[in-house]
Amino acid sequence: MKNEYSFQVRWGDTDAAGIVFYPNFYKWMDEATHEYFTAIGLPASQLFAEQQIGVPLLEANCLFKRPLLFEDQVTVQSFVEELQNKVFKIKHVFIKGDQIAAEGYEVRAWTSFKEKPKAHPIPDEIREKMMSKAVTVGGNVHAD
């Protein structure tokens, strides 16, 4: 499943030159991931309150292609690119107008916080929601 999250760049997101300060892309990827889970019916607050499940970040990366500026309208397209037993990789594409401004990803673990935090297998019903358009390659699931 692909989800879209849109926002407008705020003054506080920029540096003295009016260009988005790079850590904000990581903040927006985190926000886009939470929007993705809400879109598939699993808001983070509900997952944690009902099941003590979270999806902590293991790795993040972002490639910057074009600058974003104050008041730019941006859409982040997010989809699960890889799905393993306990870990998934979610890709985020930042689009301004008809151009890609940046592309990034996060690797996250399906984690129980009932006792000491521990990664658990992602339930099948959730895997199905996450990977509605994916293919399996070498035992791992990858997006088309």
CA distance 49 to 54: 10
For 9-54, the pLDDT digits (tens) are: 999 999 999 999 999 999 999 999 999 999 999 999 999 999 999 9
pLDDT bucket at 98, cuts 50 / 70 / 90: very high
Q: What is the four-CA torsion angle of 95, 101, 107, 108, rounded to 10 degrees?
A: -50
Average pLDDT of every residue of the chain = 92
| Class of the CATH domain delimited by 2-143 | alpha beta
Q: Where are the domains of the chain?
A: 2-143
CA distance 91 to 48: 23
Position 46, amino acid: Q
How much is the pLDDT for 74?
98
Instruction: State mean pLDDT over 81-89.
Output: 97
Q: Do 111 and 119 form a contact (C-beta atoms < 8 A)?
A: yes
pLDDT at 137 > cutoff 60: no
Does residue 54 sit in helix, strand or coil?
A: strand
